[in-house]
């Protein structure tokens, strides 16, 4: 039986950790049922690593994926994305003409805008895989002014893609609710699927043995991005340090360790119990397995309703509870539904004390680790994500 052809387009690079975990991992599974072509934009510094480039190339060939890597351009800031759209458009039209794109899977807004144009020109259906609420993220980051001409243009693209896509994919239920309130007419009768980011649950598994010893409270991932409440993390760590003189603290991040240490503050005793360091992606799971609890405090607002933190799936996969805040995608929904952590109201000492009190009670539950793992498998499973996309492809192409 001939496989249907799917063209996947993204501005993310396959030589980046995100591209490998959130694009290639899905496409390798989907390639069993579909002939997949992949257009990505690779950063010059990543392409310079010939060994890594060859590894991805071989990986794609083994799974029958036609990889068409393009050069990512940083500047000029406005012209570079426009140039990406031109390249996307040319390549998409070429692939449609050659019969390699019965369906276009567009990851995020710029690829979706191109897919929309191709749809109008050729009738080829496309999936608008939103990933996040990009206009709101740009506004929060100060890169876009609400009500400006650029904002209106991006909002028009968002509205048009939501209306004309064969299906819409969101990372979170929270974002779907917001979109349905904002675009009730455009989304009337639209097919919408919620597929969170996936975690590698074959690597992020509970430790085989109980390490014993002092408890280790951690945070994994970037904390200096502007999207993270580092002051909340500092307060949480300080409350733990005050209650447990034996507790250790680890921040696994690629951020500047000296700056992270400085902003976490604390006395000399705390600083001696604190480790801040980076690790290659393939080694992070080993470190997380040695932790006891992990914390994540992201900034709230419309821009974060569409966020699905991969680190949460990885932490839960290792059987660890999470300390977090609400207002970030489906984080609160997952924690409350599975009872796998605690939520804090704000970064005050009172909130952190209350959160720590609840955490100490939760940790007495002998089934906590099992629930954490179950939550990871049901929410962040790669296999579940692949199957969800497979069903969506089948429904559109039938």
> pLDDT of 158-208, one tens digit each?
999 999 999 999 999 999 999 999 999 999 999 999 999 998 899 999 998
Between residues 27 and 282, the one the model is more confident about? 27
CA-to-CA separations, 230 to 221, 236, 324, in angstroms, rounded: 12, 10, 12
> Exposed/middle/buried for 307, CB within 10 Å: 0-12, 13-18, 19+?
buried
Q: In DSSP terms, which residues pair with 176 in a beta bridge? A: none
Q: 19: pLDDT confidence band, cut at 50, 70 and 90?
A: confident
Average confidence (pLDDT) over 279-305:
91
Model confidence at 50, in pLDDT bands (50, 70, 90)?
A: very high
Domains defined for the chain, CATH in brackets: 4-198+381-397 (3.40.50.2000), 216-379 (3.40.50.2000)
Provide the CA 346 distance to its chain's centre, in angstroms.
23
Q: What pLDDT sits at residue 211?
A: 64
pLDDT tens across 219-254, in order? 999 999 878 999 999 999 999 999 999 999 999 998
Six-digit token pair at 44?
A: 């010059």
Q: Give the chain's radius of gyration (CA, Å).
A: 22
DSSP state of 21: I
Cα dihedral sign, 147-86-141-40: positive
Provide the whole-model pTM: 0.86
pLDDT at 17: 79
Q: Where are the alpha helices (DSSP H) in 141-202?
A: 149-164, 173-182
In whole angstroms, what is the distance from residue 17 CA to residue 281 CA? Answer: 7
Picking from 298, 299, 296, the residue whose alpha carbon sits closest to that of residue 320 is: 296
Pick from 333, 299, 327: which is nearest to 194 by CA?
Answer: 333
> What SS3 class is residue 42?
strand
Is residue 27 scored above 70 in pLDDT? yes
Residue 203 φ/ψ, nearest 5 degrees: -100, -45
Q: What is the pLDDT, as a whole number, of residue 138? A: 87
The larger pLDDT score, comparing residue 338 to residue 22, is at 338
Is residue 5's pLDDT more than 80?
yes
Closest CA to 26 of 80, 105, 81, 85: 105
Contact indicator for 330, 311 with CB cutoff of 8 Å: no
Match 């951020």 to its residue by tokens: 255
């Amino acid at each position: 039986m001939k496989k249907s052809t799917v063209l996947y387009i993204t501005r993310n690079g396959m030589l980046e950790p995100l591209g490998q975990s959130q694009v290639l991992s899905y496409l390798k599974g989907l390639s069993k049922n579909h002939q997949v072509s992949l257009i990505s934009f690779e950063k010059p510094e990543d392409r310079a690593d010939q060994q890594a480039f060859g590894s991805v190339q071989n990986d794609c060939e083994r799974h029958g994926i036609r990889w068409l890597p393009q050069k990512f351009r940083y500047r000029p800031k406005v012209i570079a994305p426009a140039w990406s759209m031109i390249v996307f458009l040319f390549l998409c039209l070429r692939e449609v003409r050659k019969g390699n794109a019965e369906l276009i899977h567009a990851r995020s807004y710029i690829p979706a805008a191109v897919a929309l144009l191709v749809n109008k020109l050729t009738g080829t259906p496309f999936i608008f895989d939103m990933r996040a609420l990009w206009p709101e993220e740009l506004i929060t980051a100060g890169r876009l002014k609400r009500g400006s001409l650029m904002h209106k243009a991006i909002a028009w693209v968002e509205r048009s893609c939501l209306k004309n896509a064969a299906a819409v994919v969101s990372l979170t239920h929270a974002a779907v609710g917001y979109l349905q309130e904002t675009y009730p007419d455009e989304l009337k009768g639209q097919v919408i699927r919620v597929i969170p980011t996936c975690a590698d649950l074959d690597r992020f598994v509970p430790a085989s043995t109980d390490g014993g010893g002092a408890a280790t409270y951690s945070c994994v991932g970037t904390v200096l991005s502007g999207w993270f409440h580092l002051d909340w993390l500092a307060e949480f760590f300080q409350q733990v340090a005050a209650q447990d003189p034996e507790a250790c603290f680890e921040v696994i991040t690629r951020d500047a360790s000296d700056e992270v240490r400085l902003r976490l503050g604390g006395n000399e005793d705390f600083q001696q119990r604190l480790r801040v360091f980076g690790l290659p992606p393939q080694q992070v799971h080993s470190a997380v397995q040695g932790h006891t609890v992990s914390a994540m405090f992201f900034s709230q607002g419309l821009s974060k309703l569409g966020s699905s933190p991969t680190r949460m799936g990885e932490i839960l996969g290792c059987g660890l509870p999470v300390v977090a805040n609400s207002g970030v995608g489906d984080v609160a929904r997952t924690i409350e539904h599975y009872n796998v952590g605690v939520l804090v109201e704000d970064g005050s000492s009172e909130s952190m004390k209350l959160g720590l009190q609840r955490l100490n009670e939760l940790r007495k539950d002998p089934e906590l680790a099992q629930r954490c793992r179950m939550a990871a498998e049901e929410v962040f499973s790669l296999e579940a994500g692949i199957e969800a996309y497979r069903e969506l492809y089948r429904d559109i192409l039938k």
